[in-house]
Structure 1
Amino acid sequence: MSLFRKKNIEQMIASVEGSALKKALGPLDLTFLGIGAIIGTGIFVLTGTGAAQAGPALMISFAIAAVACALAGLAYAEFASTIPVAGSIYTYSYATLGELAAWIIGWDLMLEYGLATSAVSVGWSGYLQSLLAGFGLNLPVALTAAPGTVNGAVTFFNLPAFLVMMVITTLLSVGVRESTRVNNAMVAIKVAVVLVVIAVGAFHVQPGNWQPFMTHGWNGVFGAAAVMFFAFIGFDSVSSAAEEVKNAKRDLPIGIIASLAVCAVLYVAVAAVVTGIVPSAQFSGVSHPVSYALQVAGQNWVAGLIDLGAVLGMLTVILVMSYGQTRIIFAMSRDGLLPRKLSTVHPRFSTPFLTTWLVGIFFGFVGALVPLDVLAELINIGTLAAFSMVSIAVLIMRRTHPALPRAFRCPGVPYVPIFAVAACVFLMVNLQWITWVAFLAWLAIGMVVYFGYSRRRSLLAQPSR
């Protein structure tokens, strides 16, 4: 039964009062945090991949992915307002499903967030190189991409991807308030860039490019939706900030729902514009599809603006996802499931300093050495599993803690959580089989770590601690 031991929700909520993390965030910070995590590689890079796969029906793919995220987002909002504790779905699972489930989802999230930062660093590198090329500057080819990713060229290491990870890690290690200010400024810039793309591109749309609408049928639409799901990853990282929010019960649901709604509208609009300007088949192999579409439209000044906006904007995705990952590890370490050193808070900066640097360096090397398409699918399956888990956990908490005060209640229970699970499982089925193999291998490693180390060292296994 020790595999299903649970943390006491009331004690968890009470323990937040003595948290060493600084409470510095408000609702606008959280909304910008969510937008900062969502708008990035998904719209600036993977739009081309999705257009090649689904054609103009990429708009539907984005809508399907958004609905799946929204269903899970409502469950996240209920948990975040009820249990405002660092750790996101890991913490929620620990209180409702038990320790083993919490470990599995925490282990899963460690990989999800880490690979997300790596994937975005690769997309950021591509846009930076496009921007520099506009000024006649080019890096040595060997240092521009992961090994074997550029046809006809020898590449060893993606240096820009690694360096940007180091810059973000430095920023995160010195404080959440400072990181948030930088994030808010860059989010404002990239949202403005996306609005410019929609406003200018709309005048160059040729409706004929939307025919045929589903170039590869529904299989292409669903396959693209499974990949485009990556574009919405990030709103869940808002809940990781729970212990650093001034009024968590009110502000966390606002941040989660508002950021997801804004980004869903922007994504569908951008998909409509770029597929209306360029025939979808032409996006195959294009690493900067949005700026490419504006170049085809003859709006080179906008294309250059997009490259600049992408370079600045994707920095916020790396920042927020790295932030979410370090808080997951912080929570697991504080519970004894990972080494205690990982939850040590820096006396001056009030951040998990060691954890921030360890994950920054490790996933910096991952981004420099692993291709983007491999990273994107691995992230998706982990996130879909997490979203399924949080939806199940809401149903369980409604039965086990019906009287627990909830500042926000997920509507339509049990139907909304059930639909969320069904949507996530459906998208998981549409991922490639090699993605499943890699995912199950990571979970197998996690089981070895749990039974070999974490189970005996858990604080719930040692009440005196």
Structure 2
Amino acid sequence: MTILEKMRQKEPLTNYLDADRRLVKSMSARDLIALGIGAVIGTGIFILPGTVAATKAGPAIILSFIVAAIVCGLAAMCYAEFSSVLPIAGSAYSYGNVIYGQFIGWLLGWALVLEYMLSVAAVSTGWAAYFNALLNGFGLHLPHVITGSFDPHHGTYVNLVAVLIILIVAWLLHRGMSTSTRVQNVMVVIKIIIILVFVLVGLFYVKPAHWRPFFPYHGGVLAGASAVFFAFLGFDVVAASAAEVKNPKRNMPIGIIGTLVVASLLYIAVSIVLTGIISYRDLNVADPVAFALQKVGQNWGAGLVSLGALAGMFTMMLAMIYSSSRLVYAIGRDGLLPKKLSHINAQTGTPTNSLVTITTIIALMGGLIPLDQLTNLVNIGTLIAFTFVSFGVIPLRHRQDINHDHGFKVPWYPVLPIVSGLTCLLLLGQLPRETWLASAIWFTLGIVLYFTYGMRHSRN
């Protein structure tokens, strides 16, 4: 077999279905929606509606979220079709292997590994900052040396809280999906209750005059949509759980599309109320939701938002570490990474080795490395996966060896998948040059690893 033939070799779906039978099928549609909301609704819901309204869209931020939800909805439907027809672990990585071939699948997996790890590492440092602020409010202070990344010049050596919260999340996942799902569901309920309390209390302080002018910025709706689009990234983690879902043909589309619908409604509701409570001109602050509540005399708002932020970040980390461990398991299953990473714990039904590996790397990043300049790379990895999944619906429909009966199908085929892919390409073009340069370095490393290890050790 030539190198080109090896790169283009497509994985038979039956191989994945057989390998993934070792995973425990325990998740329902409700669990999937909780997982998705846990990943999508983080601290951004308490920040983005305010800052983007102030700087780009004004009160029309409400329409910006609607536009962003529609764009994400296109990709969500493509993911829903893939996950119901191919109920396998690995999300876009495995889809790429089945539809495009081994090399494209590897690149998609390599992009998602970066997305998941950077997301969790960055969020862990944010969780630590909120937690330290909460401790300070009670007069408790951790030693300065363990409150930041490795920076001896400024007296910090490790962000211990960030490391510990990552280890706690991983410990929950190691106990099995039943335990972590229960915790996830509770935290998501707490988060949604806090958001709804803000919306219901805020309605009493809304002044329609604050919504005028509704379009203060020329082109503000689209500019705002491009800025808030990334608030929805994360729903794709639901697809990573397909091999552990009961009745995936029914539950996967419900989980993916349900996540997007609930998240969209929450973001839009917060935007309506927030821009109605206070003028959009005053919302360019670090904590716009808490700031708005304090402006109308509801000083409990800061504490409420902090609690909501902690819950939001916790569920996001749980969803992303879960997804990344399943992704690395899937790549190890195929031999493109060491096969030990595909080991399944017989008692808990979890891929222990991949979970430990991913947790170790993320903990080191969250505890030691400043991540402020790297988080833009999260966006490029996600959008690349969205693009290939969107266009991939077309060859998926033409595969005679895959059973399409009773699964979800994207409407208005093939127009909608093409529009979805083109929209993702448009957003990729909006990313800064520095992001493309950094991603080029990452993908170069991935290509070297593929040709020196993955191709030689792959199962097929």
TM-score normalized by the length of structure 1? 0.90
Aligned partner of 1:201 in structure 2 is 202
Residue number in structure 2 paired with 1:9: 13
Q: Is the Cα–Cα contact under 8 Å of residues 227 and 377 in structure 1 kept in the other structure?
A: no
Give the 5 Å matches for 1:378-417. Answer: 378-401=377-400, 404-406=403-405, 407-417=407-417
1:355-398 deviation digits (Å, cap 9, x = unpaired): 21221232233234555653442211111111111011111111
Residue 62 of structure 2: aligned partner = 59
Pairing 1:23–2:12 present: no
Cα displacement (A) at 1:291: 2.4
**Following superposition of structure 1 onto structure 2, how do residues 210-229 of structure 1 map, counting pairs within 5 Å?**
210-214=211-215, 217-218=218-219, 221-229=221-229
Q: 1:293 maps to which residue?
A: 292
Aligned partners of 2:254, 2:143: CA distance in 1, in Å? 45
Cα distance in structure 2, aligned partners of 1:82 and 1:441: 34
How far off is 1:51 after superposition? 3.6
Native 8 Å contact 1:223 1:431 kept in 2: no
In structure 2, relative to structure 1, the CA distance for the partners of 1:240 and 1:279 (3 Å cut) is: same
* Cα separation, partners in 2 of 1:285 and 1:381, compared to 1, 3 Å: farther
**Given residue 326 of structure 1, which amino acid in structure 2 is its aligned partner?**
S
Taking the TM superposition and a 5 Å limit, the aligned residue runs for 1:28-427 are 28-56=30-58, 57-140=60-143, 143-146=146-149, 157-214=158-215, 217-218=218-219, 221-284=221-284, 286=286, 288-369=287-368, 373-401=372-400, 404-406=403-405, 407-427=407-427
Q: Percent identity?
A: 43
Q: How far, CA to CA, are the matches of 2:276 and 2:159 in structure 1?
A: 33
| Cα shift at 1:122 | 2.9
Relative to structure 2, which stretch is displaced further, 255-264 or 45-54?
Answer: 45-54
Shift in Å, 1:280 = 4.0
CA drift at 1:317: 0.8
70-79 or 290-299: which moved more?
290-299
1-structure distance, mates of 2:373, 2:211: 29
Name whichever of 53-62 and 249-258 sits farther off.
53-62
Contact 1:109 1:382 in 2 (8 A): yes
> Aligned pair in 2 of structure 1 residues 179, 367: CA closer, same or farther (>3 Å)?
same
Distance change in 2, residues 1:285/1:119 (3 Å): farther
2:110 counterpart letter in structure 1: W
Residue 233 of structure 1 deviates from its aligned partner by 1.9
8 Å contact kept, 2:49–2:267: no
Shift of 1:313: 2.8
Q: 1:15 to 1:158 in 2, by over 3 A?
A: closer
Q: Could you say if the C-alpha distance between residues 278 and 126 of structure 1 is closer, same or farther in structure 2, counting changes exceeding 3 Å?
A: farther
Q: Distance in 2 between matches of 1:289 and 1:416?
A: 36
RMSD of aligned Cα (Å): 2.4
The 3 A distance-change label for structure 1 pair 408 and 278 is: same
Q: In structure 2, do the counterparts of structure 1 residues 297 and 438 end up closer, same or farther at CA, with 3 Å as the change threshold? A: farther
Distance 2:436 2:211 in 1: 33
Amino acid at match of 2:111: D
Contact 2:73/2:260 (CA < 8 Å) preserved in 1? yes
Determine the C-alpha separation between the residues in 2 that align with 1:261 and 1:67: 10
- Is the deviation greater in 83-92 or in 350-359? 350-359
- Opposite residue 331 of structure 1, the aligned amino acid is A
The structural deviation recorded for 1:222 is 4.3
Is the Cα contact below 8 Å between 1:277 and 1:293 reproduced in 2?
A: yes
Q: Structure 2 vs 1, CA of residues 124 and 52 (structure 1 numbering), >3 Å: closer, same or farther? A: farther
| Alignment correspondent of 2:458 | 458
TM-score when scaled to structure 2?
0.91
The separation in 2 between residues aligned to 1:170 and 1:93, in whole angstroms, is 30
Given that 2:44 and 2:231 are in contact with CA atoms closer than 8 Å, whether structure 1 keeps it comes out as yes
Helix, strand or coil at the partner of 2:404: coil
Q: Is the 8 A contact 2:43 2:312 kept in 1?
A: no
Closer/same/farther in 2, CA of residues 283 and 354 from structure 1, 3 Å limit: farther
Aligned-partner residue type, residue 40 of structure 1: G
| Structure 2: gaps spanning 5 or more residues | none
- Per the TM alignment, residue 30 of structure 1 is displaced from its structure 2 partner at its CA by 1.1
Determine the C-alpha separation between the residues in 1 that align with 2:391 and 2:218: 32
Q: Is the 8 A contact 1:222 1:427 kept in 2?
A: no
Letter in 2 for 1:390: V
Per mean C-alpha deviation after superposition, the further-off stretch among 175-184 and 119-128 is 119-128
> 1:463 is matched with which residue?
none
Measure, in 2, the Cα distance between the counterparts of 1:126 and 1:59: 29
How far off is 1:303 after superposition?
3.0
For 1:137 and 1:25, locate their aligned partners in 2 and report how far apart those are by CA, in whole Å: 40
Quickly say closer, same or farther: Cα 1:53–1:103, change in 2 above 3 A. Answer: farther
2:204 partner SS: helix
How far apart in 2 are the matches of 1:392 and 1:305? 42
Deviations 1:23-82 (A, max 9, x none): 111111111111111111321344454344324233333223212211011011111111
Name whichever of 94-103 and 155-164 sits farther off: 155-164
User: Aligned-pair distance for 1:297?
Assistant: 2.5
Q: Distance in 1 between matches of 2:381 and 2:102?
A: 18
Going from structure 1 to structure 2, the CA distance change for 1:364 and 1:59 (only over 3 Å counts) comes to farther
